[in-house]
Amino acid sequence: MKLGELISGVDEAGRGSVIGPLIIVGLSVNKDMIEYFQHKGVKDSKLFTSSAARKLRSELALEIQHHAEEVRVIEVPSLEIDKAINNRPKDNLNLLELRYFSKLVHDLNSEEIILDTISSPKYSMSQITNFLRFKNELVSIKTIKADKNESKSILQTGETPKKVIISTKADSKYTVVAAASCVAKHIRDLKLREIEETWNLPELILGQGYPNEKDQRLMKFFQNYTKEIKHRTYPFIRYSWKWKYLQTILNKPREKLDKYF
C-alpha cells in the first residue's frame, strides 16, 4: 500500500488515572476505512459510558486493530510518570507524553498524522519538533497553521514529508484519532485486569483506575489495602497524585484512617 493512502491517529488513555499505566496508541489505516469506522460507531472512547457501551467499545477496538495497517502501542508505567511529576519544573506529564508522541510521529508510516492534545497545539508542535531535533530526526519543518485550537506543519523526518496536525479534542473531530482512543482505552483496561491477576487482587477491584470516590470498587481497594499502599508496595500506583484519599493513606497515622474513610 502506498504511503499516501494511509492516515494515522494518535491518542492516549489513562492520563488522569491514579492506578495503572498511561497507554499511548498510534495507528495507521487506509483512508477508505474512515467512513466504515464512522458507520460502525467509532467515537471518542470517553463517550462509551454504560457497561453495554464499554463492551461495544472493546469490540470496536478489536475490529479497528484488525483493519489497521499498523498499530504502535507505548506503555508508560506509573513509576515513570511519578518520576516526571516529581522532577517539575524540569519535567512534567505533558512533556513526558509529548516525548512519546514525537516518537510516534517519527515511526508511523503515513504522510498524515493527527494527534490529540490537552495542551496548546502550538506549544505541543514546538515541543515535538524540539524532541525530534534533539535526536537528529528532524530534517525540516514548514508551518501551515497555528492557532489556539489546531496546529498544522509539514515535518520531514526521513525521505518523505509528513503532514502533522495537532488539535484539541481531536478524538471528537477526527475518526482516526477516535479509533486510536478506543484501542488505547481497551488495552489499558486489559492492563488493569493483568495487574489484578499479577498481584493476586480480586477481579475488577481496581475499577477504571481513576481517582473517583464514586468508583466503589476502587475505593474498596484503597480501604482494604491501606497497609500495602502506605508502604508503597504496589508499583502500579501513581504516588505523586494529589488525590486526597491516596495522600491521606500515605501521610496520616494508621489509627486515623478508618475515621477518614
For the chain, what is the mean pLDDT?
92
**Each residue of 157-196: pLDDT tens digit?**
878 899 999 999 999 999 999 999 999 999 999 999 999 9
3-191: which CATH number, 3.90.470.20, 3.30.420.10, 3.90.1150.10, 3.40.50.2020? Answer: 3.30.420.10
**How confident is the model at residue 1, as a pLDDT?**
47
Residue appearing with cell numbers 498524515: 112
Residue 4 has pLDDT above 60, yes or no: no
The pTM of the whole model exceeds 0.75 = yes
If phi > 0 it is left, if psi is from -120 to 50 it is alpha, else beta; for residue 136 that is left
Cα–Cα distances (Å) from 234 to 55, 72, 185, in that order, read 28, 27, 22
Three-state helix/strand/coil letters over 186-229: HHHHHHHHHHHHHCCCCCCCCCCCCCCCCCHHHHHHHHHCHHHH
The three cell numbers of residue 121 are: 497545539
Residue 133 has pLDDT above 50, yes or no: yes
**How confident is the model at residue 2, as a pLDDT?**
52
Q: How do the domains of the chain map onto residue ranges?
A: 3-191, 202-260
